[in-house]
Amino acid sequence: MKKFWQLGIILGLISFLFIAGCQSGNDEAASQEEGTDSQEEAEGNHEEEEHDHDHGDEAVSFDDVPENIQIEGLSDHYHTGDVFKLEAVTEEDLDHWHWYIRDSSEEEWTVVEDQFEDSYIGDAEVDGQEVIAVLYSDDHEAVAKSPVTEITIDDHEHGHHHHHGDDEESQQIYEGYFEDEQVEDRPLADWEGDWQSIYPYLEDGSLDEVFEHKAEESDDMTADEYKDYYTTGYETDIERIVIDGDEITFYQNGEEHTGTYAYDSYEILEYEAGNRGVRYIFELEGEADENLPGYIQFSDHGIAPGESWHFHLYMGDDNDALLEEMDNWPTYYPSDLDTDEIVHELIAH
């Protein structure tokens, strides 16, 4: 019995030591796992907070920050609703960027969310809005800044811009989907102003980037095919038109010819694509003049009174034949637009 009792004690002692060893191992593994989790959590928090340091709503000042960043991509002006892109250029070997904006110099800078690269994409909505790029070190110290860049908005006297209405119905009308009862008569005053043909811009190659853009946006045609299509569409020798009251002056091959025109009617046209368009027809008053078209038809995607910001013009002496013309549609934009602005308008059109 004594031997059995001694044997039991020995077995019990061995079991105790085994269990204690396992528990110690489990505790150590758990401790290591917990340490790993804590490290990962800390790293994650650091990553999340990487762009949150001192860039909140509090007032910030960059007066003491060296100005050695250049801004590229700024246009002389934009039209309301344009999307613009600015590029920050510097020799600093850092990549921690923040962009700040304010609507005027009297307001505080506000950090732009979710834009931490060396480029900034924004919407032209506030004339005079200011933008500044700031480069930070790994210690979150501002080491360089750009000059304050001002966004200028100029929609021109005709109010031409890329918005074709602020609601779905207006956009549908612009695209050629409307009801007959929505169409209204329009006065010649809707097209009053000084207008230039954009055909010369096509001829000198200025519009090539427009056709390249269209080809990139669609699989329908190549850039060369688009250019051929618009060459047929834009072709005209009437390089300028001035509309003042009920008088229209045509500038053609160095000569000027002025006639008085009266509103005749409008015609709704059905297109093969399934959409529709409206032609507003004006007739020459008085005796026929071989230097003046007997009829002109305006088409500008509008179906009710309102200032036009560009238009297609059909001109000739046979009104019915003009209504059948679908291939040649000389196009006019305000004469105060330069090449870059014409290109900008066409890409957005």
Quick check: 6 pLDDT over 80? no
* C-alpha count within 13 angstroms, C-beta hemisphere, residue 60: 21
* Every domain of the chain and the residues it spans: 70-151, 168-348
Average pLDDT over residues 80-99: 88
Quick check: 133 pLDDT over 50? yes
**pLDDT for res 174:** 85
- pLDDT tens, 144-171? 999 999 998 876 544 444 445 556 888 8
Is the overall model pTM greater than 0.75, yes or no?
no
**pLDDT for res 162:** 46
Quick check: 4 pLDDT over 50? no
Burial of 69 from C-beta contacts in 10 A (0-12 / 13-18 / 19+): buried
CATH of domain 168-348: 2.40.128.20
Average pLDDT over residues 128-157: 88
Quick check: 13 pLDDT over 60? no
The lowest-confidence range among 16-30, 98-112, 193-207, 257-271 is 16-30
**pLDDT for res 218:** 85
**pLDDT for res 160:** 44
- Of the two residues 217 and 25, the one the predictor is more confident about is 217
Average pLDDT over residues 208-234: 94
**pLDDT for res 171:** 84
Average pLDDT over residues 72-77: 83
CATH of domain 70-151: 2.60.40.10
User: Tokens at residue 189, please?
Assistant: 């005053």
- Of the two residues 219 and 55, the one the predictor is more confident about is 219
